[in-house]
Amino acid sequence: MKHKQYKMAILAFDGISAFHLSVPCLVFQDMFIDEYQPFEVSICSISGKSLKNSSGFTLQTKEQLEALSGADIVIVPSWPSDVPLAPAHLLQALVEAHQRGALLVGLCLGAFVLAEAGLLNGQTATTHWAYSQVFQRRFPNVLFDSEPLFIEHEQIVTSAGVAAALDCCLHLLRRFVGNEVAADLARKMVTAPFRSGGQQQYIPLPLPDKPLGETSFSKVMEQVEQQLNLPIKIDEVAARCAMSRRTFTRHFKAMFGCTFGEWLLNQRLKLSQTLLETSTTSIALVAEQSGFGSQSAYRKHFKQAFNVSPTQWRQTFSG
């Protein structure tokens, strides 16, 4: 049986990360070791000359941007970390590819290039969470969402950073050649065919710095940090600081930039993350040792904060 073959152009630029470039090459080309080759993959140089990747290796490419004219799928696998403006000839080539019906994929910071070409205006898109503010400032007409690992539209796909590019490529594999092939290839790569959750589970909790000095306030807060497993009420903490609740609330907000309740919740979530990653303690006991009172309350707060369950977190991050 003869299978349809899709032409794919993967863009490379001077200083590209070897990992970012290798992910689509691995998924769409290298893992197909038998006669079945659903993708004809070309590496296209943006500058039209030999390139060096971020590790100093020299890359020689046969194709230049002209190869985009015949591609069914165009992938921008990344972009430099200082996210410079893309050259005009690249933006024009992407617009023309989109106009004739090609699927355009911006992996990680590659989403910046698609947005600069105006192809994401009015659409939802994502990129690496650490670049959320930069992306939103530069492209206010794009509906930005920092949570998903990838976002798919009919002709545009964007993904979060680094490893999420692999999730996105496996999803595209399912889209073009079916779930069975994608699942089999994921097994060969010893990776999950589909990863639950989103970027939120990888974003560090916003825990503010501890207040400086040896004041009674700072000493009480250190004691609270060491007793997160115990019931903690703001009135009692305020009294230990020799303050009224109102004064304590105002002072705490000035010192930490958040409410006492927000701080306490994040401290307990952080403690629970450590317990999940470093022990085999049951979820119920993790909830108790983190001060959540009940397993159901703990699961609810954890899901709201990270969009995955405590069990999924442990499976992802435990040693």
Question: Of the candidates 30, 49, 50, which has an alpha carbon nearest to the alpha carbon of residue 41?
Answer: 30
The string of DSSP codes covering 173-215 is HHHHH-HHHHHHHHHHTTS-SS--S-GGGGSPP-PPPPPPS--
Per-residue pLDDT, 167: 84
Distance CA 12, CA 207 (A): 38
- DSSP 8-class letter at 30: I
First-last CA distance in the chain: 45
Maximum distance among all Cα pairs of the chain, rounded to whole angstroms: 81
Residue 141 has a CB neighbour count (10 Å cut-off) of: 10
Give the pLDDT band (50/70/90) at residue 34.
low
CA 276 to chain centre: 21
Exposed/middle/buried for residue 31 (C-beta within 10 Å: 0-12, 13-18, 19+): middle
| Residues 83-99, mean pLDDT to the nearest whole number | 94
pLDDT at 176 over 70: yes
How far CA 159 is from CA of 128, 143, 146, 164, 313, in Å, comes to: 8, 14, 10, 6, 21
Residue 211 confidence (pLDDT) above 70: no
Using only C-alpha atoms, the chain has a radius of gyration, in whole angstroms, of 24
Shortest CA distance to 126 belongs to which of 155, 149, 98?
149
Rama region for 315: left / alpha / beta (φ>0; ψ in -120 to 50; rest): alpha
How confident is the model at residue 2, as a pLDDT?
Answer: 54
Q: What predicted TM-score, i.e. pTM, was given to this entire model?
A: 0.62
pLDDT band at 37 (very low <50, low <70, confident <90, very high): confident
Highest mean pLDDT, choosing among 74-88, 138-152, 183-197: 74-88
- On the question of pLDDT at 210 being above 50, the answer is no
Q: pLDDT by residue (tens digit) across 42-80? A: 988 887 666 767 666 777 777 778 888 889 999 999 999
Angle at 187 between CA 183 and CA 191, to 5 degrees: 100
